[in-house]
Structures are given as structure tokens and as C-alpha cells.
């Protein structure tokens, strides 16, 4: 369990008190809002309001020209093709405009490229096929802003284009009758962080004129696409998503109702979390495993029985996706366990034959989460071609890292948090070395990972009532996360496995108040604390209905040892990393005989407890992080310890180990001029 820095927010208590009194709001919720910047009556009123505020769609550059050209196509009977994308944002965008154009009486169809054979965005083969089918106007959704070459090709075939997109603006805009992208305004608009489906929605408002009617008809699709694309749930996005979730709960369209039933959510109140973790993955899975056009078919379907059938197919695809994902993840973890030198690098690059391209990005996310490092998972096909997906951690620009290796890549793209790339399988080892060369140079000390906490709270104040009061903050999502509370100085009294051993339930106590905390994804054998220890827990709370009663659910976001010197830890870890990358020659990292003895004794003392480097550090006193790490390296070279999948264990040996004869100690003595 790598240690994260806890960032505990502060708020003006007087302002929080005024908000609580003005809006008759729970004091804790008011304090949380104040801490998040909602510190005056107007901001709070707008945030909690159920009314929907939508700006004039014609404020978007190019909107008037887009409306004119689409209306012309409808009136002249020209065939229109909505050209979408295979992810959830692209699918919902396509369904929205296809439905609208159909209602307008247009001759319209839609086209979604194959993730496996075509990739993202416009491509010439697709444009040719669309032209041959009689289309005279392509309207892109969630793509097109970078398709300059493909747009010229379309015009050469007599096909015109209207582009609606939300991705960043390239140096050269494609040829088009109109380009609608909120980023074209460069700060002129009060809000620009729309998903692709948000831009499609603005176009629908401009075409139809009645914003309230468009909200009722399509905000459900906008909610799903916006949540899926992890766009900030603030300003207009918050208003539309809030309305969309309301409609999904009151009168869902047949396709969404069928999908909710298939996900086990039929008849239940749906939240943004349900959409994020149950609805969106099923839509995305079809684009990964089969073809995303089936998901569009579901969303525009008016027949309930047909919708049930398609939804079950999406469900099957999602199950298959999960199986593939788990299989590849397990294989990748085994490869890293068998090759610890790869796992120890700053950027993990793991490759395997036959890894399905539709899920390597998800697996990369799981690898990054498990090892808390930027990770790249690469699949190799039968022709020795390699394609991979990268996922990052806070503060590390993985797109910049991938760009550094562009000379050996046939294709790459992405953003700071994620990237895609293609290369020859023969170059994977060289790519791994080069991207880690970049990481060592640009990030001599890796960015500190953080947990954002709203405030400290006593377990006495955690209750079902507080969890209910927090619902005023919904919908949750990017830019409006679920509240995280810090419970300090708890006594851990028991650890119980649950979920077939995959998770644990922690029994804790403070001043007579008992509290039960669930820690998902951590089996008991990998939990570095024992009953009797003092811990701090960063938690989220919710209401858990069961057998007609309501219970408080408390879920751990992070666990740490109470009373530790966090500042010393981060300072010493940075010093060690800088030393390892040649940026300093601090003698404070050298483990003398007494230090080595103390570290070894601490490992032996923890023999029945999961021990990684961080939990070992916090069990030591008077030993720096660098001293501990170099002592561990020397122990490993002497076969005093084993180190596998993060776990440090003592190896019983006969005779004395010669630590001074290890490469590590010799190297340190030589570098630091120590006799």
C-alpha cells in the first residue's frame, strides 16, 4: 500500500454557518460546500437548484452555418449520415442526432467505425462507402476536428461535412460547411467543457428552437455520454445531467429501460454512479467486443421486446469484456511478478501475444491502480504488430512520455492521462527503456499521489441521516466527487475477509463508538495492519437498504497509520529517488551496520503481516527511507529476503550474510567515499 498524501480542505466556518442557516442545510454539508468554493448564497443556490440553465446555442461559433446546412439538406431531401464514435460519448451523440434528424423528416442513417479495423474518427474507406450509398452531407459527432485529409477526400467525392466535436483544436481546421466546437471560442464562452454529446445537444437546441422540449427528449442521452466521458459535472453539464437522471428514473426510453433491467437496476432509483459503473460499461463493451452500432440501435429502439433482446446482447458483451479483461490483467500481473525488474521501473510496459485491443486500455488502468505507476499494456498480433494503451497517475504526463518515443512509433495520440500507440513488437524492449529514460530525466522524483478529503469527522457523527443529507450534492462525477471524510486515530479491533476473500471488513473503535469499514480490493493477507494498531481512514458513506431497513455503508478510500510524520516520509522518499537518479549524493541514504540490523529486525517482527516497503518504513524509527531501501537491496542480494508482488519476506538461511560484499553496499561506499 503506497502511501498517499492527504489533502484536507479548509472552509470559512462563518460562511458555512450562514449557508446552513439560510438553506436549512445540515451543518456538515454546508461546511463541505463552503470548502469546495460554494461560499456565497448565489453559488449555493445555483448548485442545489433543480432548474436548468442552458445558454444560447448560437453563441457557439459555426452554429448558424451548421443549422443552415442541415436544414437545407432536410428540405432538399439530401441523404445525411451521422458519423459517430465507438465509445459511449460517440454512441449517445449518434443516437441523439439520428433521432432528431429522423423526427425532422430527414433521409438519415448513421455510421460508427469499427474499433478493431478502422480506429477512431473519419477514415477514407468509410467516407467512400458512405458516398457510394448516396450521402451528400456527413455530420460528425465526437470526432472530425483533426480529419483534414479525410475531409478533403469527402469533398472530392461530392460529400460535404458539418463537424461537431469537443476535442482540442489542431493547427489546421478541416474543410467543412461548419465546425462547431466549444474550444474555438478561446475563453469567450462561460462554459466549454462539454462532451461530444453535449455539443450534439446544443446543435439539437439550435435546430429545434424549444430547449425545454429537447431537454425532455434527449437529456437522458446527454447524461450518459457526459458521465461516460468523465466531463466536469458543473455549470450546464450539471444541469443537463441532473435533468437526464431525473428522466431516466421517471420515464426511461425503451432502450435505457431494457439496459437498466439487464444491469440489475430495473425498478431501482438510478444515480450517476449507477450510470458510470453499470450503464456506460455495457455500452462501451459493445464497441470493444462487437460493434458499437448495436448500442446505437438499442438507444433509438422504440419496441420494448426488441430493446430487451438487444440489451441482453450488450450484457453478454459486457460479461465477455470482463472475462477478457480479467484474463489479460492476470497474465500481465504474472509477467510482472516473474520479471520484477519491469515492475520496478517508473513506467510499467507489459506486453502479451493476443491481448484484445478492446480492453488493453482498461487493463492498463487496473495495472496503474495496482502498482501506482504510469502503465502501458501492449497487445501483439500474429504479424508481429503491437498496439497498446497507456494510463497515467496524478502529475505524470503520459502523452508527453509517449511522444518522446515517437521515432519508434508508427502511430500515437492521446492526452496527459491516457494515450494509444502502435509499434513493431521487435521494438517493445527498446521502447520500454526509452520511455523510462524520459521518466527518469523529466520526473527524477515521481509525483506524490494524493487523496482529497473534505474534512475530518468523528465517527459519532456518521449516520444514515448524514448520508441522506449529502444527496443534495448529486449528481456526482468529475469535478463534483463524492464526499470523503477522515476518521482519525481509530483502534483497529478486527479484520474479517468478505467477498470470497477479495475484500475485508475492518472493525474499529474510538472512545466507545464502534464503526465498521469495508475495504474493497484488498484481501486480508495483503493488509499491512493488525488488530490493536491505531489507523486513520479516509472514507465515503452511503445508505444501504436491506430487508426493508436502511443501514450506513462506510467504504475506505485509503488507510494509513495514525501519528506518522508524513512530511518526513515524502521528503526522505524524494531524497532517495533523486539519489537513485544521480541528482544528489546525500549520505543520509547509506545504511550502516546498525541501520541494516534495525531494518532486518523489523522485517522479522512483521513475519505474519503483509509487508511492503511503505508499511515497513512506518514500522521503523530513526531510519530514513533511503537507508531502508538500500538495506533491502543488500538483503535481497544476500538472499536474506524475497520480494514478490510487493511483499517482503524473510528467507531462512544458515550462516552470516556478508552485506559489505554486496554490489549495493560496495556501490554506495564508492559513490559516497565511505570506508
Following DSSP, what letter does each residue of 471-510 receive, concatenated?
GGGPSPBTTBPPP-EEEEEEEEEEEEEETTTTEEEEEEEE
Contact assessment for residue 558 and residue 536, using Cβ atoms and an 8 Å cutoff: no
Q: Please check whether residue 538 is in contact with residue 452, taking contact to mean a CB–CB distance below 8 angstroms.
A: no
- Residues 83-92 have a mean pLDDT of 94
For 40-51, what is the mean pLDDT? 87
pLDDT of residue 342: 93
The C-alpha cell that represents 117 in the structure block: 479495423
Q: Average pLDDT in the 6-18 region?
A: 92
Q: Above pLDDT 90, what percent of the chain?
A: 81
Does residue 1 carry a pLDDT above 70?
A: no
- Give the H/E segment covering residue 583: none
Whether 391 shows a pLDDT value over 80: the answer reads: yes
Q: Answer whether the bond into residue 546 is a cis peptide, omega within 30°.
A: no
CA distance 60 to 414: 25
Q: Quick check: 418 pLDDT over 80?
A: yes
Nearest one of 181, 154, 147 to 165, comparing CA atoms: 181
Question: What confidence tier does 429 reach under pLDDT thresholds 50, 70, 90?
Answer: very high
For residues 234 and 53, the answer to whether their CB atoms sit within 8 Å is no
The pLDDT value given to residue 357? 86
Name the grid cell of 157: 467525392
Extract the C-alpha cell encoding 214: 429537447
Least Cα distance to 240 among 282, 268, 207, 198 occurs for 198
* pTM exceeds 0.85: yes
17-21, 119-123, 244-248, 510-514: which range is least confident on average?
Answer: 119-123
The answer, yes or no, to whether residue 280 has pLDDT greater than 70, is yes
- C-alpha cell of 660? 559489505
Provide the H-helix boundaries in 209-234.
Answer: 211-228
DSSP letter assigned to residue 282: H
Q: How far apart are CA 248 and CA 179, in angstroms?
A: 31
Give the integer Cα–Cα distance in Å for 459 and 663: 50
Residues with Cβ within 8 Å of 21's Cβ and at least 6 positions away in sequence, in order, are: none
Amino acid at each position: 500500500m503506497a502511501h498517499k498524501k492527504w489533502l484536507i480542505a479548509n472552509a470559512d466556518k462563518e460562511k458555512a454557518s450562514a449557508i446552513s442557516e439560510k438553506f436549512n442545510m445540515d451543518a456538515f454539508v454546508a461546511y463541505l460546500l463552503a470548502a469546495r468554493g460554494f461560499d456565497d448564497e448565489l453559488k449555493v443556490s445555483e448548485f442545489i437548484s433543480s432548474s436548468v440553465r442552458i445558454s444560447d446555442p448560437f453563441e457557439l461559433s459555426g452554429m448558424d452555418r451548421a443549422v443552415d446546412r442541415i436544414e437545407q439538406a432536410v428540405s432538399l431531401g439530401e441523404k445525411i449520415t451521422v458519423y459517430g464514435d465507438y465509445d459511449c460519448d460517440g454512441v449517445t451523440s449518434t443516437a441523439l442526432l439520428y433521432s432528431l434528424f429522423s423526427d425532422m423528416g430527414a433521409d438519415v442513417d448513421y455510421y460508427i467505425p469499427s474499433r478493431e479495423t478502422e480506429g477512431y474518427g473519419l477514415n477514407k474507406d468509410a467516407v467512400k462507402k458512405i458516398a457510394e450509398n448516396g450521402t451528400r452531407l456527413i455530420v460528425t459527432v465526437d470526432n472530425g476536428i483533426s480529419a483534414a485529409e479525410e475531409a478533403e477526400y469527402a469533398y472530392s467525392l461530392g460529400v460535404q461535412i458539418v463537424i461537431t466535436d469537443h476535442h482540442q483544436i489542431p493547427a489546421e481546421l478541416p474543410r467543412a460547411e461548419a465546425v462547431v466546437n466549444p474550444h474555438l471560442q478561446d475563453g469567450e464562452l462561460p462554459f466549454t467543457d462539454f462532451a461530444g454529446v453535449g455539443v450534439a445537444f446544443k446543435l439539437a437546441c439550435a435546430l429545434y428552437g424549444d430547449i425545454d422540449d429537447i431537454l425532455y427528449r434527449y437529456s437522458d442521452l446527454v447524461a450518459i455520454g457526459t458521465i461516460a466521458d468523465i466531463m466536469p459535472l458543473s455549470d450546464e453539464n450539471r444541469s443537463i445531467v441532473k435533468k437526464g437522471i431525473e428522466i431516466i428514473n421517471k420515464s426511461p426510453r425503451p432502450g435505457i429501460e431494457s439496459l437498466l433491467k439487464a444491469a440489475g437496476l430495473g425498478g431501482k432509483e438510478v444515480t450517476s454512479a449507477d450510470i458510470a459503473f453499470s450503464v456506460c460499461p455495457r455500452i462501451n463493451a459493445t464497441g470493444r467486443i462487437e460493434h458499437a452500432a448495436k448500442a446505437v440501435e438499442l438507444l433509438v429502439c422504440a419496441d420494448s421486446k426488441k430493446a430487451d433482446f438487444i440489451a441482453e446482447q450488450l450484457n453478454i458483451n459486457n460479461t465477455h469484456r470482463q472475462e477478457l479483461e480479467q484474463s489479460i490483467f492476470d497474465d500481465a500481473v504474472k509477467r510482472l511478478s516473474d520479471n520484477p525488474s519491469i515492475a520496478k521501473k517508473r513506467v510499467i510496459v507489459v506486453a502479451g501475444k493476443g491481448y484484445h485491443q478492446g480492453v488493453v486500455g482498461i487493463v492498463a488502468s487496473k495495472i496503474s491502480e495496482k502498482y501506482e505507476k504510469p502503465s502501458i499494456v501492449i497487445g501483439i498480433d500474429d504479424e508481429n504488430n503491437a498496439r497498446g494503451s497507456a494510463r497515467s497517475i496524478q502529475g505524470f504526463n503520459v502523452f508527453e512520455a509517449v511522444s518522446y518515443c515517437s521515432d519508434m512509433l508508427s502511430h500515437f495520440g492521446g492526452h496527459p492521462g491516457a494515450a494509444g500507440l502502435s509499434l513493431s513488437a521487435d521494438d517493445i524492449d527498446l521502447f520500454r527503456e526509452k520511455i523510462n529514460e524520459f521518466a527518469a530525466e523529466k520526473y527524477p522524483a515521481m509525483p506524490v499521489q494524493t487523496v482529497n478529503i473534505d474534512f475530518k469527522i468523528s465517527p459519532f457523527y456518521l449516520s444514515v441521516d448524514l448520508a441522506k443529507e449529502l444527496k443534495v450534492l448529486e449528481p456526482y462525477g468529475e469535478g463534483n466527487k463524492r464526499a470523503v471524510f477522515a476518521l482519525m486515530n481509530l483502534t483497529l479491533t478486527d479484520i474479517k475477509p468478505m467477498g470470497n476473500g477479495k475484500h475485508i471488513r475492518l472493525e474499529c473503535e474510538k472512545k466507545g463508538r464502534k464503526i465498521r469499514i469495508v475495504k474493497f480490493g484488498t484481501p486480508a493477507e495483503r493488509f499491512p495492519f493488525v488488530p490493536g494498531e491505531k489507523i486513520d481512514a479516509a472514507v465515503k458513506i452511503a445508505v444501504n437498504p436491506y430487508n426493508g431497513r436502511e443501514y450506513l455503508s462506510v467504504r475506505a478510500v485509503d488507510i494509513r497509520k495514525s501519528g506518522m510524520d508524513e512530511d518526513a516520509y515524502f521528503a526522505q522518499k524524494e531524497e532517495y529517488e533523486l539519489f537513485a537518479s544521480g541528482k544528489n549524493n546525500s549520505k543520509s541514504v547509506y545504511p550502516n551496520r546498525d541501520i541494516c540490523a534495525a531494518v532486518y529486525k523489523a522485517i522479522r517482527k512483521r513475519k505474519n503481516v503483509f509487508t511492503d516497503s511503505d508499511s515497513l518504513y512506518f514500522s521503523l524509527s530513526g531510519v530514513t527511507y533511503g537507508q531502508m531501501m538500500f538495506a533491502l537491496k543488500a538483503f535481497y542480494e544476500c538472499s536474506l529476503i524475497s520480494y514478490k508482488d510487493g511483499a517482503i519476506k524473510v528467507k531462512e538461511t544458515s550462516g552470516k550474510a556478508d552485506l559489505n560484499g554486496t554490489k549495493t553496499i560496495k556501490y554506495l561506499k564508492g559513490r559516497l567515499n565511505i570506508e
